[in-house]
Structure 1
């Protein structure tokens, strides 16, 4: 392994529950990481479920692993085993370090495989799995899932979390004692205020002087869509004049269309089109509590939007309350509505807080962020060799 940030000769086995078959912020971050590692001279082999028509082409070499569709959410796959074929491939690759990015069955198996060979294991935490059950009337399962996660993460040598607020949650949950930060970056060529387009807004029936409250996300209930729609209803009842713009697709789209019949649904957008859509909003409203970082929040800030978000992991590390947006108690519909009304009725406040958010977004460079993960790999490998 070379110095000065180079990783020549380092072999990394990365296990993911979703590397490229459904597009989301976590797997796009993993693909960016692999691209960076390859440019630095490392060898990377990715193990993840495959589908016939993935959302995008994978970065690097992708090896399919056995998986089953998630009941009720068939677009997702759960890795269920390390097959003999995968074990042979893994042994032939002979990694120096194993990186697991989801606490599934295959990840448990590969952690055992690595520990038997005295290889270091790094786990990256991308979502708060234990909170998902709140949205499916199974909140009683949360402590059980948390205990299962603790068992998994304590078998790893170190964790990396996307934000300091999420790292603190993991410390409080006693998940591990070696927890670092693998933040997220933002593509400033795509997400910038310059992409704002009144012509694009007009094509959707949005007037130039409409104040547009937007959300862009995969449309699933765990993103807080119930809180989003309730707060919008309360804001309407106060007589505020605004429009709602929804960007994204997902199984909850029909529910949200029924719930907010006056909203404009732009569907799935990516790349420059997504940047244009986000920059053409006036306020981002994102009440999710399941985020560990909040790519959506950072991308909106880079476009110069004030953000109204839940005071939860992820957003707390990005939004400065009353400076670049508002952080509201999760689920507090009335407070969300009041925060939104202030932005709808005060264009100077929108501009001031949006500009502050854009300045904050300038601090997030992908290469610097991904080098922190590379440095962790190197540290863990050296520590393991020293112990031997």
Structure 2
């Protein structure tokens, strides 16, 4: 297939959308599908990629408020109509719903090209964390209009599918995110890394990975850590990632270790060298970090939502907290760190529990969905 992929984020930008989309698209390319990637130019030195079966169209973009390292694509309908008229793709896949994504949707409709999309970021939930909660309904209305104009929308969990269906979204298909189970593996555990955190065999290392932002509920991680300290637990706290909330976290928790932005290889060692992954976010559409932690052999403590609902088997490879009560989260952390054997037992089940989320299986699902979309387009 000739697949045009439209996205407003792409590596070396480090976020869940960029990294998981990149992995998927490269695997499709390896299966001899021709990829045309449409994205904003990241900086003046960005020349795109030049490889077999791969072309890129780089367009103008503007920095996103609070995240100047990320770009928001500008409207480019006419440019895309011209490009796709010259070299027509079989299918257009839109990963992000910004101005560039909307332009691609319009251009594809003009040229009668089949379109699929991803629901990857819960912008409506994020809005309340930035003082614009009143925008939640208009944002959701826009997203519904956007996705209902595509042949199908991929969502990462059955719970999100049910939620969006109740809000009027149509043609939803569940396709989970994948994980590299060879890179993210318990054998990446590093004694030297643990020593750099001043952690010995009796220390419980708590880990958080992801963007340091208000909507991630990171204050609860600090509260949990400090509650464990007050209860006499020997614990260390490690944050991997960066973002606008880092300064606040460092002020509230100066004894935590802040690793900053990390490569995938570095993250694999971080996950495997920790003892408990704390993930109290309530705004995720999926949360690929949950998948990476489990693949790395690290049990997860999370609320019963997003990926955790489908990946974490309570008391088996991690723990799920019902509702949104922060006190319940802290109490569960106190309970599971009381005896070292509790975490050790859970660690034995983590890696094996997510084998079906290997990227090869996820790519099979996406490939099948693309082919069925094309077949339906031909029939109609």
- Find the counterpart in structure 2 of residue 29 from structure 1: 20
Matched, 1:226 2:219: yes
Structure 1, unpaired ranges of 5+: 1-9
SS, match of residue 218 in structure 1 = coil
Matched, 1:18 2:12: no
| Matched ranges for 1:178-327 at <5 A | 178-327=171-320
Deviations, residues 314-346 of structure 1 (Å, cap 9, x unaligned): 221111123221222464221111111122222
SS, match of residue 37 in structure 1 = helix
Question: Partners in 2 of 1:55 and 1:236 — Cα distance?
Answer: 46
Question: Partners in 1 of 2:346 and 2:46 — Cα distance?
Answer: 34
SS, match of residue 192 in structure 2 = helix
The structural deviation recorded for 1:308 is 0.6
TM-score by length of 1: 0.91
Give the conservation status (yes or no) of the 8 Å contact 1:283–1:343.
no
Question: Partners in 1 of 2:79 and 2:65 — Cα distance?
Answer: 26
The structural deviation recorded for 1:155 is 0.9
Question: Partners in 1 of 2:47 and 2:275 — Cα distance?
Answer: 29
Question: Partners in 1 of 2:301 and 2:269 — Cα distance?
Answer: 20
Give the conservation status (yes or no) of the 8 Å contact 2:225–2:235.
no
| Matched ranges for 1:46-125 at <5 A | 46-52=37-43, 60-82=54-76, 84-125=78-119
Change (3 A) 1:356 1:79: same
The structural deviation recorded for 1:20 is 2.2
Question: Partners in 1 of 2:347 and 2:134 — Cα distance?
Answer: 39
SS, match of residue 272 in structure 1 = helix
SS, match of residue 190 in structure 1 = coil
- Find the counterpart in structure 1 of residue 131 from structure 2: 137
Question: Partners in 2 of 1:19 and 1:197 — Cα distance?
Answer: 29
Question: Partners in 2 of 1:290 and 1:57 — Cα distance?
Answer: 32
- Find the counterpart in structure 2 of residue 147 from structure 1: 141
Question: Partners in 2 of 1:216 and 1:244 — Cα distance?
Answer: 11
Change (3 A) 1:376 1:161: same
Give the conservation status (yes or no) of the 8 Å contact 1:305–1:355.
no
Question: Partners in 2 of 1:317 and 1:295 — Cα distance?
Answer: 12
The structural deviation recorded for 1:56 is 12
Change (3 A) 1:127 1:307: same
Name whichever of 217-226 and 298-307 sits farther off: 217-226
- Find the counterpart in structure 1 of residue 155 from structure 2: 161
Matched residue count: 377
Question: Partners in 2 of 1:35 and 1:269 — Cα distance?
Answer: 21
TM-score by length of 2: 0.92
Change (3 A) 1:330 1:52: farther
Matched, 1:373 2:375: no
Question: Partners in 2 of 1:205 and 1:55 — Cα distance?
Answer: 40
Question: Partners in 2 of 1:89 and 1:180 — Cα distance?
Answer: 29
Change (3 A) 1:53 1:366: farther
